[in-house]
Amino acid sequence: MPPSQLERRLRRFFNIPLKGENSEFRSGLVSQYPDERKDTIQRVIAAMTVGKDVSALFPDVLKNIATHDLEQKKLVYLYLMNYAKTNPELCILATNTFVQDSEDPNPLVRALAIRTMGCIRVDKMVDYLAIPLKRTLKDDNPYVRKTAAICVAKMFDLNSKMCIEQGFLDTLMDMLNDSNQMVVANAISTLLEISKMSDSNLLKMDSKITKKLLITLNECTEWGRISILTALADYDTNDSTEVDHIIDKVTPQLQHENPAVVLSAIKVIIKQLDKISNERREHLQRRLASPLCSLLSNPPEIQFVALRNIRIILERYPEMLSNDLQVFFVKYNDPLYLKLEKIDILVRLVTTDNAALLLAELREYAMEVDIEVVNRSVNAIGQLAIKIEQVSKKAVEVLYELYMNRSTYVLEQLIIVIQNILRRYPTKYLPTVITVIADLNFDDLSTPESLSSYIWILGQYCKQIPHLEDRLQTMASQFQEMDPLVQSAALTAIVKINLTKSSPKIRQILQQILNEATTKIENADVRDKAYIYWRILSTDDEKLQKKVILKKLPILESTIEKFSAPLLRQLVDEISNLGSVYYKPGAAFVRLRSGDDGAFVDNATLQSKRLEELQQMAKSEIVNNAVKAENLLDFDESAEDRQGAQEEQEEEKIEVSASSDSAANILDELSDLFSGLSTQPAKNVSSSSASPAPHNSGNHEDLLNLF
């Protein structure tokens, strides 16, 4: 804009000193030339976009609100939305313009005004919002109505009480009968949104509304269809004719070009699948297969979410996609996360018919560059071998081949997989496994998982392993530095070997490991396990030892992870929502905010929860101690009895009951303490025989220090 630039230059030249950007903006905003004003507003918004704080210009920007230039109006409105909070009082000055605009002859302006007004998040604004909102909800123009419908959600967010009092929610329900599809769709979306906000169900679906929605469905925009389908998915159908009607009207949506419409439609149908005849269900399952596969003809991020949903659907209906294996083959350009996800699906689709094909494909992936893909593929080959017996031989051959061109990172995963295969086929592939193991040493492996698998194989097949004693010697020498997982495996292995293939050398190693495990290892599990073995071994009952230690493991049926049944039910409801990606129901990760200080509230509740837990812990501690105290007293009593001491027994008994009372009193006392009072805790402890009591008081003092 040459004139304004020239002017700016002149100003600069003559009198106005440069005071930085803001003062330059300020003078531009009050310029007498409309072009310069608009230009300045644009530059202010540009500054806002890059994160500069231009809130100080609020009054000057506000002066430009009354304009007929729609673009300028939009920019000023945008500025208002962003900085309303910094100048709540000044915002009220804008209401007049908003209200005026909401009566403008141009529907675009009316809609813009009502849209923006709802976005000005200032409490006082709500008071002015109700009237124009009521008017625009009944506007002649559908564009204005559909915008106003959403504004109800904004108002609910600001002041839910007022929103309900003014009857806006009822108006929304009425709007479901609007003649315009987009208004209906937005009314649905808004009701769903408000339901989520208030954690209640406001959209009361009945068969009449359902019918109406099914008709609207075909006329809607893609996003409107998604809202309607979402509402339908949650609808609990009454009878079979309704189920049929829904399925008939929803299935054509599977051909929609927007993948989100397709997945939403799939969800609606899946939710009805249990209510129809077997024959029809099978037919529909077949029908869902290709739309599901087509979800993969999208950008990788969309594919990723689709795959997570497919996993859920597959667990519910495992046969659905077994003819479509190739769709899930990994492409070279797929991002890493997508490759891993695809491999995960591939193993779930395998049947006896396509297993050989999949194995050949997995073999290719196992030779890829990415370590993660290689590891996942090796694991998948194992899963495949375990699931489908017919290809297990080939799978083992492939694993052996991978081992031969070994790179260290394959090795770790390979050993784990071999262990699993042995658990499934205990002897079938032993010769191959032994050649692999014969070649391997402890130093070749580094992760705890692979090491413990290796050790397990040593223990299980000790008779076939060459140079067994040397290997065990190395194992024993490194025992103390090992991960607890590996130590535990080593313990079991050496005990097993001692029973099946004993020799002086092995007995010596066993003794060394048991010694170290019981004296030098800090991990309680390993220590306890060692003690238990030691006990069993010292019984000298070899039959018992063998019965306990060499117990046969159950055959491994599958190594493919599965959801638990209740979780799966919840996940079907989560299809296409965030929960389907996390594999968790919504309640597990959604934290509803409570006002702007949500974080603070969260912290506070968290702290009070922790406090409760501590109190609980303290209480149970004390109860335990009290029980112990009684026991001790009993013991004393009986001891004294045996000694036949001279003291009067009655007195003794009174004392005993008194001290056990005292322990109970401490409990009450303690809860008093936690509720804020601080009395001397040791008051009741008078008896000399109740030695645990002072210990108790020490306990609470520790606890009190915690707070």
Partner 1 sequence: MASVVYFLDSRGRPLLHRDYKWDIPSTAIEKFPLLLLNNSIGQSVDEGSTIPVLNDNGINYVYLLHKDLYILALTREDANVFSILCYLDSMVKVLEGYLKSLEEESIRDNFSVIYELLDEMMDFGISQITDQKILKEYITQESFTLNTLLHPSGSKKKPGSTTVFKQRVAPSTVTNAISWRSPGIVYKKNEAYLDVVEAIDMLVNSRGQLLSSEIHGAIKLKSFLSGMPELILGLNEKFMKSCLNAVRGTPGNVSEGDKKSIEVEDLKFHQCVRLGKFESEKMISFIPPDGECDLVSYRVHSPVLKPLFLIDYKVRNHSNTRLEIMLKVRANFKSRVSARKLEIRIPVPRDIDSPKYHYNKGTLKYVPNESVILWKFRKIDGGKEYVMIAELLLPSVSDDGELEKFKKIPINLKFEMQGFVTSGLQVKYLKIREPKMNYQSYPYVRYITKSGDSYEVRTN
Site for partner 1 in 350-369 (CB under 8 A): 360-361, 364, 367-369
Distance of alpha carbon 253 from alpha carbon 216, whole angstroms:
13
Q: What gap in Å lies between CA 235 and CA 203, rounded to an integer? A: 10
Instruction: Find the shortest distance in angstroms from Cβ 124 to partner 1.
Output: 16
Nearest distance from C-beta of residue 450 to partner 1, angstroms = 17
Q: Interface with partner 1 includes 314 (CB under 8 A)? A: no
Query: From the CB of residue 262, how many other CB atoms can be counted at a distance below 10 Å?
Result: 23
Is position 51 an interface residue for partner 1 (rule: CB under 8 A)?
yes
Q: Which stretch binds partner 1 (CB under 8 A): 75-83, 237-245, 558-566, 606-614?
A: 75-83
Return d(Cα 696, Cα 687) in angstroms, integer: 14
Return the closest-CA partner of residue 294 out of 337, 321, 327, 264: 327
Residues in Cβ contact with 454 at an 8 Å cutoff, skipping those fewer than 6 apart: 415, 437, 440, 442, 445
Q: Draw the binding track, 76-95, toward partner 1 (x: CB under 8 A; -: no contact).
A: --x--xx-------------
Contact 202, 175 (CB under 8 A): no
C-beta of residue 113 within 8 angstroms of C-beta of residue 101:
yes
DSSP letters of 349-404?
Answer: H--TTTHHHHHHHHHHHTTSS-HHHHHHHHHHHHHHHHH-GGGHHHHHHHHHHHHH
Q: How far is the CB of 78 from partner 1 (least distance, A)?
A: 6
Q: Which of residues 171-200 bind partner 1 (CB under 8 A)?
A: 180-183, 186, 189-190, 193, 196
Closer CB to partner 1, residue 288 or residue 355? Answer: 288
Residue 14 binds partner 1, judged by CB under 8 A: no
Query: Should residue 562 be labelled a site residue for partner 1 when binding is judged by CB under 8 A?
Result: no
User: Closest separation between CB of residue 49 and partner 1, Å?
Assistant: 5
The first and second tokens of residue 472, run together, are 């065990």
Q: Are 217 and 228 in contact (CB under 8 A)?
A: yes
Q: Does 148 bind partner 1 (CB under 8 A)?
A: no
**Closest distance of CB 314 from partner 1, Å:** 17
* Residue 63 contacts residue 72 (beta carbons within 8 Å): no
By beta-carbon proximity to partner 1, the closer residue of 544 and 590 is 590
Choices 147-155, 167-175, 425-433, 537-545; region in contact with partner 1 by CB under 8 A: 147-155
Report the residue number, 382 or 579, with the smaller CB distance to partner 1: 579
The two tokens of residue 566 are: 């209740």
Q: What value does the CA radius of gyration of the chain take, rounded to a whole number of Å?
A: 37
Shortest Cβ distance from residue 19 to partner 1 (Å)?
25
Measured from the CB of residue 453, what is the shortest distance to partner 1 in angstroms?
22
Residue 178 phi/psi, 5-degree rounding, is -60, 150
Q: Does 21 bind partner 1 (CB under 8 A)?
A: no
Give the nearer residue to partner 1 in terms of CB position, either 272 or 419.
272
Q: Which residues in the 254-313 window bind partner 1 by CB under 8 A? A: 254-260, 262-264, 283-291, 293-294, 297-302, 304-306, 309
Of the two residues 576 and 697, which places its CB atom closer to partner 1 in the complex? 576
By CB under 8 A, what part of segment 96-125 binds partner 1?
105-109, 115, 118, 121
Query: How many angstroms separate the CA atoms of 423 and 357, rounded?
Result: 24
Q: Which stretch binds partner 1 (CB under 8 A): 38-46, 123-131, 384-392, 524-532?
A: 38-46
Under the binding rule (CB under 8 A), the answer on residue 219 touching partner 1 is: yes
How does 355-393 read in b/e, with b if 16+ C-beta sit within 10 Å? bbebbebbbebbeeeeeebbbbbbbbbbbbbbbbeebbe
Residues between 333 and 352 with contacts to partner 1, criterion CB under 8 A: 333-338, 340
Burial of 232 (0-12, 13-18, 19+ CB in 10 A): buried
Q: Which of 1, 532 has the CB closer to partner 1?
A: 1
For partner 1, give the closer residue by CB, 259 or 692.
259
b/e for 264-294, b at 16 or more Cβ within 10 A?
bbbbbbbbbbebbeeeeeeebbeebbebbbb
Integer Cα distance of 281 and 701 in angstroms = 66
Task: Give me the 457-496 binding string for partner 1, x by CB under 8 A, dash otherwise.
Answer: ----------------------------------------
CB closer to partner 1 out of 297 and 515: 297
Binder among 8, 26, 37, 154 for partner 1 (CB under 8 A): 154
Q: Per CB under 8 A, which region of 226-234, 499-507, 511-519, 618-626 contacts partner 1?
A: 226-234
Contact window for partner 1 (CB under 8 A) among 205-213, 234-242, 381-389, 573-581? 573-581
Nearest to partner 1 of 6, 371 (CB atom): 371
Residues 218 and 213: their CA atoms lie apart, in Å, by 9
Binding-residue total with partner 1 (CB under 8 A): 122
Tokens 């000298």, residue located? 540
Residue 547 lies near partner 1 (rule: CB under 8 A): no
- Asked whether 66 and 97 are in contact (CB, 8 A), the reply is yes
Which part of the chain contacts partner 1 (CB under 8 A), choosing from 54-62, 250-258, 495-503, 563-571? 250-258
Residue type, 419: Q
Footprint on residues 578-597 left by partner 1 (CB under 8 A): 578-582, 586, 589-593
Query: Exactly one of 27, 160, 223, 619 binds partner 1 (CB under 8 A); which one?
Result: 223
Cβ 364 to partner 1 shortest distance, Å = 7
Ranges within 420-439 binding partner 1 (CB under 8 A): none
Report if residue 3 touches partner 1, rule: CB under 8 A.
no
Give the shortest CB-84-to-partner 1 separation in angstroms.
10
- Decide: is 230 part of the binding site for partner 1 (CB under 8 A): yes
Binds partner 1 by CB under 8 A, chosen from 61, 246, 273, 327: 327
Distances (CA, A) of 703 to 619, 669, 674: 11, 14, 10
| Per-residue binder mask for partner 1 (CB under 8 A), 394-413, x = binder | --------------------
We find the least distance from the C-beta atom of residue 149 to partner 1, in angstroms, to be 9
From CA 151, how far away is CA 145, in angstroms rounded? Answer: 10
CB 517 within 8 A of CB 493: no
* Cβ closest to partner 1, residue 56 vs residue 587: 587
> Using CA atoms, how far apart are residues 15 and 437, in angstroms rounded to an integer?
89
**Alpha-carbon span 622 to 632, nearest angstrom:** 15
